[in-house]
Amino acid sequence: MMDLQYSFSSEAENFLNELQPGQPLPAEALLTALSGEDAAALEEALDALAEKGIVPDVQDLPRYSADTQLAVRLRREAQLVKQGSLLKDLEENDPLRLYLEEIAALPTEAGEDAEQLFNASLNRVAELAFGYAGQGVLLLDLIQEGSMGLWQALQNHNGDNFEKFRDETVTRCLIKAIILQAHEAGVGQKMRQMLEDYRSADERLLAELGRNPTAEEIAEALHISPEEAETAGKMLENVRSLHRVKQPEPEQLSQEEDQAVEDTAYFQMRQRIAELLSGLEETDAQLLTLRYGLEGGRPLDANQTAQKLNLTPEEVNAREAEALKKLRQQ
């Protein structure tokens, strides 16, 4: 598949082109990568992702809101949806309640024309919107965005299983509205700064302690809660894994070209790493390879490494600190 061309920065373009069709994509990683772009560029990116069959996951998206009144309303809507009591507990003149009562009175049987089919599907649009209650966009606005997606589904569907096509199209519109709102609220910039602070604290504590710091230690250094530190660590790994450059397809090289590759700085660096690891016990060499992704894989945390090597996480941390100490001495 050819890489798509975009009208924004090369960093954002590289990020999008590295994504594979159908690949999972946390919305916070997308917003961080496109934090310097405007809303039009973000919309273009979302449309390009839709062409690749990629739907960003917004469930773990931080919920920032500078408007206290809006934040209170969002929390209340989420609570009422969870309790299943929107129509019961909203005020009688609340616009959301009035709209839900209006669409509840519509016929649920689809007619022959587009308008009848549209009306029969509005309750389903509301149901899908309820799944994103409290995520930065008011439910009434979400339902309106979903209704636009419903019209798109009616206009573009040309095969079987309209219900599946409708739900996918509406869901993309709901997610798009949430991501655009988060971008407007500066979530991407906040995320980028938080990840930079987390990475800086992680590297500093690693040097000071001689081992990987815990979430609690990073939280204390950044004056945040351990839960926030764990979230930042998870998002940092998501961003790292999504930014890894795709490896080119292997090519058949001649003997002369093969020798030229071996003379590159990259090859020499890999040789040096192998030399350093050869001075360690086999288990310790495997441990560092897994922890830092030295063979091109994704770096594993202490728990994942422990499972691979039949160790405890504490043993992994202790052996890692000792192995790094030996490497520094070399």
Note the pLDDT of residue 255.
55
Note the pLDDT of residue 3.
47
Provide CB contacts within 8 A for 17, sequence distance 6+.
3, 4
- CA angle 128-158-176, nearest 5°? 35
pTM for the whole structure: 0.64
**Side-chain half-sphere of 123: how many Cα atoms within 13 Å?**
12
Note the pLDDT of residue 59.
84
Please compute Rg for the chain using Cα positions.
Answer: 25
Helices (H), the chain: 10-18, 27-33, 39-51, 68-83, 86-89, 95-104, 114-130, 139-156, 162-184, 187-209, 215-222, 226-243, 255-262, 265-278, 282-292, 302-309, 313-329
Instruction: Count CB neighbours of 263 within 10 A.
Output: 8
Note the pLDDT of residue 250.
47
Domain ranges within the chain, ordered by starting residue: 68-184, 187-243, 255-329
| Token code pair at residue 260 | 């030229």
Specify whether the backbone of 298 is left (phi greater than 0), alpha (psi in -120 to 50) or beta. beta
Note the pLDDT of residue 66.
61
**Residues 310-319: contacts with CB under 8 Å, at least 24 apart:** 311/287, 316/287, 316/291, 317/211, 317/212, 318/211, 319/283, 319/284, 319/287
Task: Check: CB of residue 8 under 8 Å from CB of residue 34.
Answer: yes
Low-confidence residues in the chain, pLDDT < 50: 1-4, 244-250, 253, 259-267
Distance CA 134, CA 171 (A): 16
Note the pLDDT of residue 248.
42
Q: From 3.30.70, 1.10.3470, 1.20.120, 1.10.10, which CATH number describes the 187-243 domain? A: 1.10.10
Buried b (16+ CB within 10 A) or exposed e, 183-215: bebebbebbbebbeebbebbeebeeeeebbbbb
Tell me if the domain spanning 68-184 has CATH number 1.10.1740: yes
pLDDT tens digit sequence for 69-124: 888 999 999 999 999 998 889 999 999 999 999 988 887 776 566 677 788 889 99
Q: From 3.40.50.720, 1.10.600.10, 1.10.10.10, 1.10.540.10, which CATH number describes the 255-329 domain? A: 1.10.10.10
Note the pLDDT of residue 110.
63
pLDDT tens digit sequence for 284-313: 888 888 887 776 566 788 888 898 899 998
Note the pLDDT of residue 330.
64
Shared fold status for 187-243 and 255-329: yes
Helices (H), 185-301: 187-209, 215-222, 226-243, 255-262, 265-278, 282-292
Note the pLDDT of residue 97.
92
CA distances from 30 to 183, 189, 247 (A): 10, 11, 21
